Amino acid sequence: DSHQKVHRFREGDIIAIPAGAVYWTYNDRNQEVVAIIVDDVNNPANQLDFQAKTSFLAGGISSEHIQGQQQFQGQQGRQGQQQIHGQQSRQQGRQQGRRRSPFGGQEELTRDNVYAGFDTELLAEAFNCDPQIMRALQESRNRGVIVQVQQQMEFVTPEEEQQQMHQRRSRGGPSNGVEETICSAKLVFNLDNQREADVFNRQAGKLNMVNEHKLPILSLMDLSAEKGHLQPNALFSPHWTVNSHTVVYVLSGDAQIQVVSNNGEAVLNEQVSRGDIFPVPQFFAATARAGQNGFEWVAFKTNRAPLKSPLAGYTSVFRAMPLEVITNSYQVSPNQAQSLKLNRET
């Protein structure tokens, strides 16, 4: 167990979990943990259909629990299809309290752990364990997927691992090679670090982004994320994302959001606040004006290295255009065209 990789996470962390990976979480503090989970069902790793497949190795969800939850399912479509997990659970084609089996027919609307479907004696032989232990694995679904531990659990934390590694190096002990391979994969990146902000303005706000260059495992998942904070009444200039769709979740504050389609239609013009979620498709332009309490959000993008194209500001498309092009395109004077190019220096 001393070589198990345990990642400690904190507020502002992005955790990348590859498709098919098994994971668990444990809250060893005395405050609630609220996490936003995004599944990219358009990822090539999903070979079945446009539904997120969740498998449990322990626990399970009863039909009563599933039926009691609000259901959420994004529109289906090949490009950029995503499914978001929040306080809402997924709706998988069901009829009168049942869902359709992947092999046809009907099955109860429950989600057991994978061990529950195997023969107990077969599992006992595979594990070389007593069948009673196997029954405990199979029947753990009655406890649900979130359980209360009997006593505080202790793990080798990253700080302790570093200390142990330093001790081994100081005494010249041999290494088994695990530290340099599997255990060295970086899965966590914090988006609250002001020193690593990609955009920072003391009066306006900041923007932290994580892509394949900062977290290489994202290159396998073809996903990225950003976390932004606007000061009260600050404006996030109009822009569009060139190569990805975006799903935005509001963390705190409020803002007036405008989203315009590629054919010039205003598809969203609403006030959003904490807990709201909205999509911004590829090539759709968006802007945000923060309210009196500021505005903080996290956005997930369907590309490992997303590119933005600002419509206004010192990095906008106007800066790269000759004055004559702007003058003739918009029928404005050269002075007005100069204003469009240079009036916003930050």
- Domain map (residue ranges) of the chain: 27-143, 191-311
Question: How is residue 295 written in tokens?
Answer: 């505005």
What pLDDT does residue 293 have? 95
Specify the length of the chain in residues.
Answer: 346
Give the per-residue pLDDT at 300: 96
Residue type, 174: P
Q: What is the pLDDT of residue 108?
A: 46
CA-based torsion, 308, 311, 312, 313: positive or negative: positive
Q: What is the pLDDT of residue 257?
A: 96
| Burial of 304 per CB tally in 10 Å (0-12, 13-18, 19+) | buried
Helix/strand/coil for 62: coil
What is the structure's pLDDT at 148?
83
The pLDDT, as a whole number, for residue 73 is 42
Query: What are the b/e assignments for 251-287, b being 16+ CB within 10 Å?
Result: bebbbebbbbeeeeeeeeeeebeeeeebbbbbebbbb
The one-digit pLDDT tens for each residue of the chain (346 residues) are: 555 677 888 899 989 988 778 888 888 888 898 898 888 887 777 766 777 777 788 877 766 555 555 444 444 444 444 443 433 333 333 333 344 444 344 444 567 778 888 888 988 888 888 988 888 888 766 677 888 888 887 776 655 445 445 544 544 544 444 443 445 668 889 999 888 899 999 999 999 999 999 999 898 889 999 999 999 999 999 999 999 999 999 999 999 999 999 888 999 999 999 999 999 999 999 999 999 999 999 999 999 999 999 888 888 888 888 888 889 888 899 999 888 888 776 5
Distances (CA, A) of 86 to 249, 257, 274: 10, 21, 13
Residue 221 and residue 79: Cα distance in Å, rounded?
A: 15
The CATH architecture of the domain made up of 191-311 is Sandwich (2.60)
Angle 337-341-345 from CA coordinates, rounded to 5°:
145
Strands 277-280 and 205-210 come out as unpaired
Instruction: Say what the pLDDT of residue 270 is.
Output: 95
Q: What is the pLDDT of residue 124?
A: 87
Would you state the pLDDT for residue 107? Answer: 44
Are 270 and 236 spatial neighbours (Cβ–Cβ below 8 Å)?
Answer: no
pLDDT of 255? 97
